[in-house]
Amino acid sequence: MNTQPLKIAIAGLGTVGGGTVHLLHDQAALLAQRAGRPLTMVGVAALEKPVDLPLGGVPFFTDARVMARDADYDVLVELIGGAGGIALDIVKTALGRGRSVVTANKAMIAHHGGELARLAEANNAVIGFEASVGGGIPIIKSLREGLAGNRVTQVMGILNGTCNYILTTMREQGRDFSDVLAEAQALGYAEADPSFDIDGIDTAHKLAILASLAFAMPLDIAAVAAEGIRHVSALDIRYADELGYRIKLLGVARLTDDGVESRVYPAMVPLSFPLAHVGGVFNAVVTEGDFVGRTVLEGRGAGARPTASAVVSDLMDLARGRATPTFGVPVAQLAARPAAPSGAHHSAYYIRLMVRDEPGVFADIAAALRDERVSMEQIIQRGRAPNEIVPVVMTVHETDEASMLRAVARIAALAAVAEPPRIIRIETL
């Protein structure tokens, strides 16, 4: 057994980098005991040397490329971020030198994971990316190792803490999206440019990674259809409450007879389903395997300390010599699967219309649904307000998406319908 120190070079000393330095420093004795060898920082790189980190005499680099190329390390920890650029450059440099890589960079893995895995295999190196999905939740390890005996048929989850915080706060405080988003930005929970989170792009990156692992198929970020939470209104959240649902931004990947569905969308989740109770910045992932059945893993999806916990779990695997192919099997054995056509998706739906309250409008709406063979489950309309614009909420039984969209297009074209209809999928699990 190797008892030499594991030599670690860290590129990027922002939130996660700082947390990782603190963890390696604060728990050094514990880590050495569990790993059977010390975990030693041999280099750190950042644009400016931070004054508040316990770095002691660890060599400091202002150029991460120089560190990646010249320093003597066993593993490069990439915590700079971004799909390409310097992050990708230094990871390739490290792998090319036969050094392993640990990263929290979901954008880079989602866009370049296949290429990087091939490079790692060619150079007998390992890529750890536990921190790229679900913060501190050991979901990558669970999919790749703990559930390795299963054919996974579905993986879905709440994968973006910013969105879950916004949706949870909107519900608890009855506030509007833009209002809560502005507050989250002021508090540092959301970025100045929030689109990466709230348009579902971050969730799509994470879902692509999970789908590749779950179904042993090559990464395909282009196959993930992403819809965010900008259009979720306080009104829809109130109706969801009334109907016994919570609205959550989900990433869902499932094997169907029509192919693989990989989608990100806000959904109504019944209170009987575990994801309904995952609030605030927590993330959770539900996996369905043919032997294990359903498992749910929940924890903090972001933040310096939880993400550092995941980074260090990868370092501990490297220190112990525990290795697994990047996506569970060698890259050459990943098998592409066809994407399911979007119109084939089956789901129940919530529909909210803003309608002028006038005679005959219900008949027109019902006819549009009937003509597309969409079966109404319930309808909510409170009181009468002749000639005013009022909300009308319906739920419909499971139907294919193509029929649903045709019915909604017909409804949207009715003269009495004052705004574009809002439709939200209902998860029936």
Query: 310 is written with which tokens?
Result: 């995941």
Q: Does 33 bind a copy of itself (CB under 8 A)?
A: yes
Is residue 248 part of the annotated active site? The answer reads no
CA pair distance 264, 205, nearest whole angstrom: 10
Q: Using the minimum distance from each CB to a copy of itself, give the nearer residue, 267 or 312.
A: 312
Contact 257, 414 (CB under 8 A): no
**196, 274, 379, 401: which one binds a copy of itself (CB under 8 A):** 274
Among 93, 100, 142, 399, binds a copy of itself (CB under 8 A): 142
List of E strands, 159-240: 225-226
Nearer to a copy of itself, 143 or 369 (CB): 143
Per CB under 8 A, the segment of 31-39, 110-118, 193-201, 258-266 that binds a copy of itself is 31-39
Residues 6 or more apart in contact with residue 49 via CB below 8 angstroms: 60, 62
* 426 binding a copy of itself? (CB under 8 A): no
CB 147 within 8 A of CB 287: yes
Q: How many residues bind a copy of itself (CB under 8 A)?
A: 59
In degrees rounded to 5, what are phi and psi of residue 228? -100, -155
Does 424 sit near a copy of itself (CB under 8 A)?
no
The answer to whether 34 contacts a copy of itself (rule: CB under 8 A) is yes
Q: CA-to-CA distance for 227 and 297, rounded, in angstroms? A: 24
Residues 6+ apart with CB under 8 A from 158: 164, 248, 249, 250, 275, 278, 282, 283, 284, 285, 301
Does residue 397 bind a copy of itself (CB under 8 A)? no
Of 94 and 275, the one with the shorter C-beta distance to a copy of itself is 275
Q: Angle at the Cα of 31 (from 29 to 209), degrees rounded to 5?
A: 160
Q: Is the Cβ of residue 324 or residue 381 nearer to a copy of itself in the bound state?
A: 324
The reply to whether 293 sits near a copy of itself by the rule CB under 8 A is yes
Site track for a copy of itself across 145-164, x = CB under 8 A: xxxxxxx-------------
Q: Hey, how many other C-beta atoms are within 10 angstroms of the C-beta on 51?
A: 6
Cα–Cα distance, 201 to 160 (Å, whole number): 10
Residue 88 or 131: the one with the smaller Cβ distance to a copy of itself is 131
Q: Which stretch binds a copy of itself (CB under 8 A): 55-63, 110-118, 139-147, 420-428?
A: 139-147
Exactly one of 106, 141, 206, 248 is catalytic; which is it? 206
Residue closer to a copy of itself (CB basis): 70 or 145: 145
Name the nearest CA neighbour of 106 among 208, 235, 2. 208
Phi, psi angle pair for 119, to nearest 5°: -65, -40
CB 356 within 8 Å of CB 392: no
What residues line the site for a copy of itself (CB under 8 A)?
A: 19, 23, 27, 30-31, 33-36, 130, 136-138, 141-142, 145-151, 216, 274, 277, 284, 289-300, 305-306, 308-313, 315-317, 320-325, 328-330, 333
Q: Catalytic site residues?
A: 206
